[in-house]
Amino acid sequence: MLRKEGITLLKLEGINKIFNEGTPDEKIALDNINLHLAPGDFVTIIGSNGAGKSTMMNMISGALTPDFGSVIIDGKDVTRLPEYKRSHYIGRVFQDPMAGTAPSMTIEENLAIAYSRNAKRGLRGGVSKGRKDFFRTSLEKLSLNLENRLNAKVGMLSGGERQALSLLMATFTKPAILLLDEHTAALDPSRAELITKLTKQLVEEGNLTTLMVTHNMQQAIDLGNRLIMMDKGQIILTIDEDKKPNLTIPDLMTEFEKIRGEKMNSDRALLG
């Protein structure tokens, strides 16, 4: 991991978000969140349902704006920048395999859309000869034989194939930050394993700064150089690079009990 100490790529400062404020459904989704990521960091995020993991991802991507606090990417305050402008910096893969691709368009057309993420879209052809070759070599990395199905409609692919394609599309323009929001949760175990393997490979190849939400504790321990645990809208535990390699699931459970003074809610989701 080519981590550069002392430089901050992503900074969340005092982020607060309350949903349905002033109604009986009021919910504090994020409570004073502070997080700093150095270039090359790969942070895994765990926490029970409703801990605020996805809300935090949406704050970074711009799908939601915080009530207070600021989001700073590469020294630039992007708190008020709309999602479509912020996505120049951010690649994203959603939990739902259907969410990251356009089903009625072909594989090559989907890749062309991802390819023009950083350029102003114009009246050039989306799929040129040169790009096609690039798409083919990129798809070969997935080892799913998609490189020979460039003209197949994405809606015809399986969930695992679509998620692999989404992952490739999110990463191949080398975004400053990659957000993975439980992107293996909706897949069967063997597919999930494949996507996990691909994630590791693509993140390492591109040396991408990554935030990954997961329900699977083992996955959170296996991947990345840092780990954070969230609960009730707060970051309650941060495991840094030096401690992460020796981390185990029981360690995490004990830590949680120490901090919260209660047994970790051993729902299926949290233990994975």
Partner 1 sequence: MFTALFGSVEQGIIYAIMALGVYLTFRVLDFPDLTVDGSFVTGAATAAMMIALGYNPVLATLMAIVAGFIAGCMTGLLHTKGKINPLLSGILMMIALYSINLRIMGLSAENAIVKPNIPLMNSDTIFSQFQGFWGNLGIDDAMNSFIRETLGFQSAPSTWGTVLLVLIVTVIIKFIADWFLKTEVGLAIRATGDNKRMIRSFSANTDSLIVLGLGISNALVAFSGALIAQYSKFADANMGIGMIVIGLASVIIGEAIFGTKTIFRTTLAVVAGAIIYRIIYAIALRIDWLDTSDMKLITAVIVILALVIPQVVDKRREKARKAKRRSERLGEQNVAQGGNHLA
Tell me which residues touch partner 1 (CB under 8 A).
61, 82-88, 90-92, 94, 98-105, 109-110, 112-114, 116-119, 121-127, 169-170
CB of 147 to partner 1, least distance (A): 20
DSSP state of 14: E
Toward partner 1, which CB reaches closer, 81 or 253? 81
Toward partner 1, which CB reaches closer, 179 or 228? 179
Choose among 75, 94, 81, 80: nearest CA to 163. Answer: 94
Residues 129, 225: Cα–Cα separation, whole Å: 39
Toward partner 1, which CB reaches closer, 35 or 114? 114
Its sign, for the CA torsion 135, 181, 214, 183, is negative
- String of b and e for 185-217 (b: at least 16 CB within 10 Å)? bbbeeebbebbbebbeebbeebebbbbbbbbbb
CB of 168 to partner 1, least distance (A): 13
CB of 91 to partner 1, least distance (A): 8
What count of other Cβ atoms lies within 10 Å of the Cβ of residue 55?
21
Toward partner 1, which CB reaches closer, 139 or 237? 139
Toward partner 1, which CB reaches closer, 167 or 221? 167
210 SS3 class: strand
Toward partner 1, which CB reaches closer, 23 or 104? 104
* 71 DSSP β-pair partners: 12
What count of other Cβ atoms lies within 10 Å of the Cβ of residue 23?
8
Tell me the two tokens of residue 33.
């969140």
CB of 150 to partner 1, least distance (A): 13
CB of 80 to partner 1, least distance (A): 15
CB of 125 to partner 1, least distance (A): 6
